[in-house]
Structure 1
Amino acid sequence: MADRQISLPAKLINGGIAGLIGVTCVFPIDLAKTRLQNQQNGQRIYTSMSDCLIKTIRAEGYFGMYRGAAVNLTLVTPEKAIKLAANDFFRHHLSKDGQKLTLLKEMLAGCGAGTCQVIVTTPMEMLKIQLQDAGRIAAQKKILAAQGQLSTQGGVQPSAEAPAAPRPTATQLTRDLLHSRGIAGLYKGLGATLLRDVPFSVVYFPLFANLNQLGRPASEEKSPFYVSFLAGCVAGSAAAVAVNPCDVVKTRLQSLQRGVNEDTYTGFLDCARKILRHEGPSAFLKGAYCRALVIAPLFGIAQVVYFLGIAESLLGLLQDPQA
């Protein structure tokens, strides 16, 4: 029964470790995804993921690629832990006598896990997007200021360039949002986050479980770590691309600052309608390959750490009085 007692804490710790490792590896790609999704036609600063990362390094330095990473690293631990542990919890309670779950029950378990995870994800995403997108807004203002100066040459003398506004911090943003909008301010875009993360989990978890099962050498053994890694990568990238339209809408809704002449939105349907009208259907796939590149290794790493059972070993040592 000792294993049973340490099962939930171990799952939470494993999820946290996996999230920290994964986010550290892929965060610059996630930053590029956010900036590509937020730029609208007529205000394009970046042409691709590589162009975005190169310009970010030039303008903001190497650590500019990790804008918002502190928020993500702080909150990704409970987020990943809740998602992975909740999926196991629902799978356990939906199974009968250890029998294999039907596809419908696997999807229901994923749905439950995604819903639980959104409680932590929404404020994290809200703050992270403001911090990630600040560099894009600053770059756009700099370009417009330079264009304004050029237009005045030969006539009125150009004015001196305005000093750059200080970049917001996560603490500042949280304080301002709580002061102006209350706790609901941190949950702006909750509906869009639910529409992204619940379908993601519904697709991801059953697909991962079935792919992972294919590489299992015998019914009573675990799959090798590389099978879990590849299954996590494939399932993660497939689910990420499938829900990318909702991710684009969510990113736009959660961005509090807009560039010059960029649309504002009143809700999910208004945002989707304006994107379709002004930018065309292809806009819903903006950042899709970046998101797939983020999610694939993130969930591959998560599943390997989770299935290696690092936390079980650590907790076993802590519980051993002779250790």
Structure 2
Amino acid sequence: MPEQKVSLPAKLINGGVAGLVGVTCVFPIDLAKTRLQNQQGARVYSGMLDCLTKTVRMEGYFGMYRGAAVNLTLVTPEKAIKLASNDIFRQYLSHDGKLPLWGEILAGCGAGTCQVVVTTPMEMLKIQLQDAGRLVAQRSDPVSASAPAPTGSQAVQPGHTTTYRPSGLSITLELLRTKGFKGLYRGIGATLLRDIPFSMIYFPLFAKLNAVGRKGDLHGNLRDRASFLQSFMAGCAAGSVAAVTVTPLDVIKTRIQTLQKGVGEDSYRGIIDCTRRILSREGLLAFLKGATCRALVIAPLFGIAQGVYFLGIGEHVMELLG
């Protein structure tokens, strides 16, 4: 059976809808992940549940959704690019409807590379908004506040107000004013270092899991469409494996992209400097900070994304429009 031609507009719609649904469901856990990964030395939060409990107590229910507006605005093009480009690369690399493993990995690599144009500024802004509450909580904690600041740290000074809550727009304007357009792309190297291996693991693994139990023709081409449940579970499983695998790279990326540091916290000059400082000051286990949160974010996020994606909402929309 010849492989169906990819409809780019439909894939973009599918990816966008999938991203919106997924992010809305898991954003509070993603906020906890960011705050846990940024902790250095004295801890404000002992774990994910403690972080979410303290966030609600100090900032209210909607405090768990700080940065969600930026994420929801940019996740549509980000997920659309990621999922659609993977489909396009897979189609391009296929021969007679068959795609070898190296082709699946290469397609994932291409998808991870393409998405970074949106992912980097999206996460750059999101991280600042998510971490603002942690800095306030740290300044109100006498133990954390008394920690000495290491050389090179851009710490929050005691005289500065700790109740300021930046907005995505104010951060964007400040970055453009002080750093120019490249300021929004701080950490792009670390983002590529995380997203390319993630996609190289995720997409081939998802394709294999999504094909389990499905019937094929004499040439090995799948004839039936995956069910929503199978796509959802395959997305969850593949997402969890890929997310945990690249967590050390995500920690590095988060630290580099965090502009304002708390008392006693390091700032970094790049990927190598960040890796060296984390290893020397916090040990190997620091590279796994937020691993549980990350798995709990990525698993349902990609499960929902793939489930919605394979429902073909975009194709139905294009039919109505056409």
Could you tell me the TM-score, scaled by structure 1's length? 0.90
- 4+ long deviations beyond 3 Å: 144-148, 161-165
Could you tell me the TM-score, scaled by structure 2's length? 0.91
Is the 2:44–2:144 Cα contact (8 Å) retained in structure 1? no
Gaps of 5+ in 2: 147-158, 217-221
Q: Which secondary structure state, in structure 1, belongs to the residue aligned with residue 180 of structure 2?
A: helix
Is the 1:216–1:224 Cα contact (8 Å) retained in structure 2? no
Cα deviation for residue 97 of structure 1 reads 2.2
Is the 2:139–2:162 Cα contact (8 Å) retained in structure 1? no
Partners of 1:217 and 1:65 in 2: how far apart?
44
| Counterpart in the other structure of 2:309 | 306
Does residue 135 of structure 2 align to residue 132 of structure 1? no
Is the 1:253–1:267 Cα contact (8 Å) retained in structure 2? yes
Does residue 262 of structure 2 align to residue 259 of structure 1? yes
| Counterpart in the other structure of 2:280 | 277
Partners of 2:71 and 2:30 in 1: how far apart?
11
| Counterpart in the other structure of 2:206 | 208
RMSD of Structure 2 on Structure 1 (CA): 1.7
- The change in CA–CA distance for 1:37 and 1:8 in structure 2 (over 3 A counts) is same
| Counterpart in the other structure of 2:184 | 186
| Counterpart in the other structure of 1:38 | 38
Partners of 1:135 and 1:165 in 2: how far apart?
9
Partners of 2:145 and 2:277 in 1: how far apart?
27
Gaps of 5+ in 1: 149-160
- Deviations along 1:230-257, one digit per CA (max 9) or x if unpaired, are 0000000100000000000000000001
- The residue identity in structure 2 corresponding to 1:286 is K
Partners of 1:144 and 1:167 in 2: how far apart?
21
Partners of 2:161 and 2:113 in 1: how far apart?
43
Partners of 2:285 and 2:105 in 1: how far apart?
28
- Deviations along 1:273-316, one digit per CA (max 9) or x if unpaired, are 11111111010000001000000000001111111101111210
Partners of 1:147 and 1:202 in 2: how far apart?
42
- The change in CA–CA distance for 1:233 and 1:47 in structure 2 (over 3 A counts) is same
Partners of 2:122 and 2:182 in 1: how far apart?
13
Partners of 1:84 and 1:249 in 2: how far apart?
25
Larger displacement relative to structure 2 (260-269 or 169-178): 260-269
Cα deviation for residue 217 of structure 1 reads 4.0
Is the 1:12–1:85 Cα contact (8 Å) retained in structure 2? yes
- The residue identity in structure 2 corresponding to 1:212 is N
- The change in CA–CA distance for 1:165 and 1:25 in structure 2 (over 3 A counts) is same
Cα deviation for residue 54 of structure 1 reads 0.0
- Deviations along 1:43-65, one digit per CA (max 9) or x if unpaired, are 21000000000000000000000
